[in-house]
């Protein structure tokens, strides 16, 4: 558009008669080459344009300056000067330059707007990228994996099973103590047997009756028991003396002393029979009413009281030893069953069928069974190691869950060490008592 404006302006200038001399001087050969004086006309025959001495040439620039300023030979002839200023420049050239400048400003403004648009787009894309990155990081940081939920599900009923375990341990210890103290209904014989009565002999007779009915193996002693064993099933054979099959191997025992009434379960019979053979196999001699009356008499009071205190001291020391047995048996007692489906799901990942899972952990897995899966079997599945290929945050969360399981195991180990400490201190006391008796006897002599 600017070029078309200039073409129109210069076209009109070329048509004007007043600018012919200016154009000839500006664009002609006189602007490039010296002009002889004779070719310039009579006007230039006089000084200062014609100098005979040096035969100088007229400078077109000087002529143009004089023409535009109306000086020297052009004094009093301002028409060309006025025309160049008022007509050519002010009306033609200056408006054209103004339009050109305006168009250039518009072009520059349009370019600036385009550049600004690019900057706006860049800022917008940068902001969107930051938001998307933050969103992705939030999803990565705060979206927990399925593996983490598995730890919570597997420990659903862990605390309840532990509380039930403590109740079962107290029940086992109380039963053993009542048996040694010859409380009522502590004889394992059938209620129809005469051996239901209390005392050392009655206890042996009742246990023998239970052995023949429940635990007898017809093949033992060169089949000597073939005609004596009354049991037709082998599920309880020798369970009264087999610690491995009775307590150590099973993960869950059907032992529950929290609900009263009803006949004892098979596992309860096995555990109590094994405890009878391990602890207080020989009960103390019967202490009846006559014995307590004898203690009350002045003549035999000291001797009777000493025997009674010795008996109770032996029962106390035995309870320390039996506490470990009761703790291990109670740890495998049936739990509450809140996490059973999740535990069986882990066993299924290990290739164990549902029927075998029922045999392995039962319908109400024990505290020991739950901790065995949480602390050992869970890490035997390929899925556990595949789940470690997760975000660093989820791996850190799994590490925290594993740390909590480790703390629970350390607590169990701590309690076991406490029981071992009690056993060691009791054993040391027994050795000290022996030395004390030696010193007492030597002193008496």
Residue 134's Cβ-count burial label (10 Å; 0-12, 13-18, 19+) is exposed
Lowest mean pLDDT among 177-186, 317-326, 365-374, 423-432: 177-186
Residues in Cβ contact with 82 at an 8 Å cutoff, skipping those fewer than 6 apart: none
What confidence tier does 224 reach under pLDDT thresholds 50, 70, 90?
A: confident
Is it the case that residue 352 has pLDDT exceeding 90? Answer: yes
pLDDT of residue 291: 65
Q: Tell me the C-alpha distance between 343 and 252, whole Å.
A: 13
What confidence tier does 287 reach under pLDDT thresholds 50, 70, 90?
A: low
**Does the reported pTM lie above 0.85?**
no
Q: Are 138 and 347 in contact (CB under 8 A)?
A: no
pLDDT of residue 79: 64
Q: Are 273 and 207 in contact (CB under 8 A)?
A: yes
pLDDT of residue 172: 94
pLDDT of residue 136: 86
Is it the case that residue 87 has pLDDT exceeding 70? Answer: yes
What confidence tier does 293 reach under pLDDT thresholds 50, 70, 90?
A: low
Is it the case that residue 174 has pLDDT exceeding 60? Answer: yes
Is it the case that residue 369 has pLDDT exceeding 60? Answer: yes
Is it the case that residue 349 has pLDDT exceeding 60? Answer: yes
Q: Tell me the C-alpha distance between 38 and 124, whole Å.
A: 76
Q: Are 369 and 157 in contact (CB under 8 A)?
A: no
pLDDT tens sequence across 402-443: 999 999 999 999 999 999 999 999 999 999 998 888 888 776
Lowest mean pLDDT among 112-121, 254-263, 282-291: 282-291
Lowest mean pLDDT among 30-39, 186-195, 329-338: 30-39
Q: Tell me the C-alpha distance between 19 and 177, whole Å.
A: 139
pLDDT tens sequence across 127-171: 999 999 999 888 878 877 888 888 889 998 899 999 999 999 999
- Residue 10 has a CB neighbour count (10 Å cut-off) of 14
What confidence tier does 370 reach under pLDDT thresholds 50, 70, 90?
A: very high
Residue 285's closest CA among 268, 304, 301, 265?
Answer: 304
What confidence tier does 193 reach under pLDDT thresholds 50, 70, 90?
A: low
Is it the case that residue 296 has pLDDT exceeding 70? Answer: no
pLDDT of residue 76: 67
Q: What angle do CA 201, 190, 240 make, to 5 degrees?
A: 75
Over residues 114-136, the mean pLDDT reads 92
């Amino acid at each position: 558009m600017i070029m078309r404006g200039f073409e129109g302006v210069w076209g009109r200038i070329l048509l004007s008669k007043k600018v012919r001399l200016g154009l000839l001087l500006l664009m002609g050969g006189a602007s490039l080459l010296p002009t002889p004086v004779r070719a310039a006309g009579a006007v230039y025959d006089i000084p200062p344009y014609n100098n005979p001495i040096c035969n100088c040439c007229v400078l077109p620039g000087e002529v143009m300056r004089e023409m535009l300023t109306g000086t020297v030979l052009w004094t009093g002839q301002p028409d060309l000067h006025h025309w160049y200023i008022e007509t050519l420049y002010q009306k033609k050239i200056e408006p054209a330059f103004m339009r050109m400048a305006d168009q250039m400003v518009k072009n520059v403004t349009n370019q600036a707007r385009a550049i600004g648009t690019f900057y706006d787009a860049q800022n917008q894309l940068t902001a969107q990228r930051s938001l998307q990155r933050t969103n992705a990081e939030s999803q990565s940081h705060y979206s927990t994996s399925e593996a983490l939920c598995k730890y919570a599900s597997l420990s659903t009923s862990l605390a309840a099973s532990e509380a039930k375990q403590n109740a079962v341990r107290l029940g086992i210890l109380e039963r053993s103590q009542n048996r040694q103290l010859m409380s009522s209904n502590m004889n394992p014989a059938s209620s129809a047997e005469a051996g239901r009565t209390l005392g050392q002999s009655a206890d042996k007779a009742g246990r023998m009756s239970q052995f023949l009915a429940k635990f007898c193996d017809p093949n033992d002693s060169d089949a000597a028991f073939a005609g004596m064993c009354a049991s037709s099933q082998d599920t309880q054979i020798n369970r009264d003396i087999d610690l491995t099959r009775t307590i150590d191997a099973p993960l869950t025992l059907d032992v529950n002393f929290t609900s009263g009434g009803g006949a004892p379960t098979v596992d309860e019979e096995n555990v109590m029979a094994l405890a009878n053979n391990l602890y207080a196999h020989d009960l103390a001699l019967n202490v009846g009413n006559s014995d307590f009356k004898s203690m009350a008499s002045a003549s035999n009071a000291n001797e009777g009281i000493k025997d009674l205190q010795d008996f109770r001291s032996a029962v106390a020391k035995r309870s320390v030893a039996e506490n470990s047995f009761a703790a291990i048996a109670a740890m495998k007692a049936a739990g509450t069953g809140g996490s059973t489906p999740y535990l069986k799901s882990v066993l299924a990942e290990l290739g164990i069928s549902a029927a075998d899972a029922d045999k392995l952990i039962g319908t109400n897995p024990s505290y020991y069974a739950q901790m065995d899966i949480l602390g050992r079997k869970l890490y035997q599945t390929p899925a556990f190691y595949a789940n470690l290929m997760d975000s660093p945050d989820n791996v850190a969360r799994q590490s925290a869950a594993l740390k909590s399981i480790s703390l629970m195991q350390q607590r169990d180990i701590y309690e076991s060490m406490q029981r071992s400490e009690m056993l060691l201190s009791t054993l040391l006391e027994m050795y000290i008592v022996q030395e004390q008796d030696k010193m007492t006897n030597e002193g008496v002599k």
